[in-house]
């Protein structure tokens, strides 16, 4: 399959690369990193990246203008996107050939080629591995993007998905010329309004005796801090820094009235719960959608049940 991916990249003159909506550093890193790799190794090709620009990640990358006619003879590649509804820019199926490259559970195997490696820490790790397999030359710009993507999806190498292979690839990328310390500072810093929102999250966090926690961020709250849904990405990991918190949900009210649900866990697998609520993702980091306060409570109760099951099994053994 790796050979087929290379053959298709070499066969097409126009290549358009997509990623998921509401991108994080790995979505942009893998998408634009792959584009930079192709441009660097095949300068005669036309390579474009598409999707909605996000202000808080403008320091990492920005999108190109892509016309409808560009797709007529194009190879389309989608990175870091588990399922079709999450692909940013719904023209992804308008090209001549479609390739999916991802590291999430492959529950929607779309594309003429579907290359998924769930053992990889990130899509950026996969793209780097492919580049090395293709014997491509890496540029400083591509290395910066891919390194940032890996750092983002591993939580600065803290998450369980970080493997020895991840560290080897990151070490290889670090041999190129870019300011890795500036990347770390950029990813570790946030604005004063977000700092105040983080304080609000700690103050309003609800938690049971087993360390299952949640907080609800209403539109009224976000407006009070002068923030949007996209800004809440900066505080998703905050509850997990509390030692007694084991699993948590952040319910973010959308302008339309429903809730975007961000689910995280330190050990217990929670993506099955996300699937029950129009979502999915990694075992310990998933997203879902809720359409009422009552559904929010249902999700929280389902998270609590994970720990109640463990307690029941322990008591039965005694």
Tokens of 276: 């029950």
CA pair distance 5, 14, nearest whole angstrom: 15
Which of 11-25, 219-233, 265-279, 300-314 shows the lowest mean pLDDT across its residues? 300-314
CA pair distance 27, 82, nearest whole angstrom: 11
Residues in contact with 176: Cβ distance below 8 Å, sequence separation at least 6, in sequence order: 138, 139, 140, 143, 144
pLDDT tens-place string over residues 155-177: 889 888 899 999 999 999 999 99
C-alpha count within 13 angstroms, C-beta hemisphere, residue 218: 6
CA pair distance 2, 129, nearest whole angstrom: 10
Give yes or no for residue 309 having a pLDDT over 80: no
pTM for this model (two decimals): 0.83
More confident residue, 250 or 56: 250
The pairing of beta strand 14-18 with beta strand 74-79: parallel
Phi, psi (5° rounding) for residue 37? -65, -45
Q: How confident is the model at residue 225 (pLDDT cuts 50, 70, 90)?
A: very high
Q: Collapse the DSSP code of 115 into the 3-class scheme (helix H, G, I; strand E, B; otherwise coil) and give the result.
A: strand
pLDDT tens-place string over residues 238-258: 999 999 999 999 999 999 999
Phi, psi (5° rounding) for residue 30? -70, -40
pLDDT tens-place string over residues 166-212: 999 999 999 999 999 999 888 888 899 999 999 999 999 999 999 99
CA pair distance 104, 28, nearest whole angstrom: 16
More confident residue, 158 or 110: 110
Which residue shows structure tokens 């006619």? 69
Name the CATH superfamily housing domain 2-188: inorganic pyrophosphatase (n-terminal core) (3.90.1640.10)
C-alpha count within 13 angstroms, C-beta hemisphere, residue 294: 0
CA pair distance 25, 60, nearest whole angstrom: 8
Q: How confident is the model at residue 314 (pLDDT cuts 50, 70, 90)?
A: very low
pLDDT at position 277 is: 96
pLDDT tens-place string over residues 126-136: 999 999 999 99
| Biggest CA-to-CA distance, the chain | 69
Average per-residue pLDDT for the chain: 93
Domain boundaries, the chain: 2-188, 193-317
Percentage of the chain lying above the pLDDT 90 cut: 81
Residues in contact with 179: Cβ distance below 8 Å, sequence separation at least 6, in sequence order: none
CA pair distance 49, 6, nearest whole angstrom: 18
- Please give the class, per CATH, of domain 193-317: alpha beta
pLDDT tens-place string over residues 278-299: 888 888 988 999 999 999 999 9
pLDDT at position 313 is: 47
pLDDT tens-place string over residues 15-45: 999 999 989 999 999 999 999 999 999 999 9
C-beta atoms surrounding 243 within 10 Å: 8
pLDDT at position 87 is: 96
CA pair distance 296, 142, nearest whole angstrom: 40
Give yes or no for residue 307 having a pLDDT over 80: yes
Q: How confident is the model at residue 310 (pLDDT cuts 50, 70, 90)?
A: low
For residues 99-121, average pLDDT: 95
pLDDT at position 302 is: 96
pLDDT at position 312 is: 44
CB 243 within 8 A of CB 207: no
């Amino acid at each position: 399959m790796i050979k087929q991916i290379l053959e298709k990249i070499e066969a097409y003159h126009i290549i358009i690369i997509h990623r998921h909506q509401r991108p994080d550093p790995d979505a942009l890193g893998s998408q634009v990193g792959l584009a930079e790799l192709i441009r660097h190794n095949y300068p005669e090709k036309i390579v474009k990246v598409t999707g909605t620009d996000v202000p808080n990640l403008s320091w990492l990358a920005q999108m190109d203008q892509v016309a409808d006619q560009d797709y007529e003879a194009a190879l389309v590649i989608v990175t870091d996107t588990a399922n079709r509804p999450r692909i940013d820019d719904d023209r992804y199926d308008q090209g001549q050939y479609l390739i999916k490259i991802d590291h999430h559970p492959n529950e929607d195997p779309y594309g003429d080629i579907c290359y998924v490696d769930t053992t990889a820490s990130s899509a950026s790790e996969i793209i780097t591995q492919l580049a090395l397999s293709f014997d491509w030359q890496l540029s400083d710009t591509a290395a910066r993007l891919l390194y940032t993507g890996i750092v983002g999806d591993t939580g600065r190498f803290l998450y369980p998905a970080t493997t020895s292979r991840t560290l080897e690839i990151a070490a290889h990328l670090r041999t190129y010329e870019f300011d890795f310390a500036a990347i770390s500072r950029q990813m570790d810093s946030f604005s004063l309004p977000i700092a105040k929102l983080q304080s609000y999250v700690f103050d309003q966090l609800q938690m049971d005796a087993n360390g299952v926690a949640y907080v609800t961020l209403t539109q009224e709250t976000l407006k009070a801090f002068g923030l949007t849904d996209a800004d809440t990405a900066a505080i998703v990991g905050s509850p997990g820094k509390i030692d007694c918190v084991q699993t948590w949900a952040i319910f973010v009210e959308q302008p339309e009235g429903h809730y975007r649900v961000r689910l995280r866990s330190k050990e217990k697998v929670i993506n099955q719960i996300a699937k029950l609520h129009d979502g999915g993702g990694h075992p310990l980091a998933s997203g879902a959608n809720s359409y009422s306060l009552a559904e929010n409570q249902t999700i929280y109760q389902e998270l609590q049940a994970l720990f109640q099951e463990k307690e029941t099994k322990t008591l039965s053994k005694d």
